[in-house]
Structure 1
Amino acid sequence: MKLEFDGLSAVVTGGASGIGAAVARTLTARGATVAVLDVNPGEDGIRCDVSDDGAVRAAIDAVVARFGGIDVLVNNAGIGAAGDVAANDDAQWHRVLDVNVVGMARVTRAALPHLRKSEKAAVVNTCSIAAWQGLPNRALYSASKGAVLALTLAMATDHLDDDIRVNCVCPGTADTPWVGRLLDASADPAAERAALAARQPMGRLVTADEVAHAIAYLASPLSGSTTGTALAVDGGMYGLRPRPRA
């Protein structure tokens, strides 16, 4: 039976762990040939620091040499930051924005000539509910994800005539290694995990696989009329206001 991504090649940045690894597994299971780009890529991936334009271009060239082209790009690489607006110095602001926002631009820019040649081209950016919710102690991270949302819409508009669809997925707090490290660094990891779970109306953290399935939907040729969309995978945080549980 033909799978929806049969014959298509995909690039997943930050693809060696967490949401990125789940995306790579999901796209592979649905027929895609997947290249994992990561600063720590593992045995079969390609090393790539999205803050280094030369490294990005070399990685994209390596993918094209291996696969012959690129049909799907998942811009997932990103880093976090905690604290209010005064908590991070200028160097950290530049670093997070460089990786989370400019990094997406670098990778897309390098992949764009190849995406233009594809008949099924799609770009999916990993955004966050932090782009539209006022989360406590996430000023820098939220600023970066707000920029990702705006960038996604701008790219979707710019590349309509190229037949390249551009969307983003906005996860709530996901149960990933990065979140695990944040929890481990807190004074009471169990209490902090319970608080994060309670913040989401469904009462639990989002799983990496759930985010991956949303990304696969947005990237799929079966979603040919979906572009400029921000898809929330957040346990209901965006639109639901339930009464507190007893």
Structure 2
Amino acid sequence: MPTEAGDRLLATVGNHLDGIEAGLAELGELRDKPAGHFRITSTEHAAETLLWPAMEKIANSYPDITLEIVIDVGLSNIVTERYDAGVRIGEAIEKDMIAVRIGPDLEMAVVGTPAYLEARGLPESPQDLVGHNCINLRLVSAGALYAWEFEKDGRQINVRVDGQFTFNTSGLIRKAALAGHGLASIPVDQVQDDLASGRLVRVLADWCPPFSGYHLYYPSRRQNSLAFRLLVDALRLRS
């Protein structure tokens, strides 16, 4: 059983043990090769457009680094759920996190097929969406539906839409929109080809300005290994 002096010593150095372990791990990496297993939570869109291209390069260059991506469009708590890092838009990151920008500004597009819009009419303002069949996005971890966000001339409006379909992935939302089942709010880069071909038509574009893009975030108190720093650097947005 530890003595009273031993208890005091453990209380003093206990908070530093994680840092010591991280330092020893990094010495091992410098002697051998960068290694580690990392779990990252991300939206499907960010995973496909940003994480995968960078991680494929990491995997090819550093085979001892293993990566796990968990898709979640909600706001997971990366500390309690034991993720090494997460990906969110910059506006949604807590203040006690380190945030590294990994993508350019984003822009949402409200889209529908020409046939749907001909039958239901063009919405002229966000409030008009109440009369439309809209394809909802479920934020699973938050347990709620995403409220479509709009802004124009400094005026911000959030609209709770309703419709026949609800999904938690943007890929299925796009498919439902292409099938003519209603209007979708989706990152514009995911429907660029559909807009160019005329399969989809964009509405309310003047209500959808660009906003802060994706950031990789992780706890500020985290002791980062060489392998984790390589991962962050591979994802970092270059100007």
- TM range, normalised to the smaller chain? under 0.3
More helix by share: 1
TM, length-normalised to structure 1: 0.26
Q: Which has the higher contact order (CA 8 A, sep 6+)?
A: 2
Rg larger in structure: 2
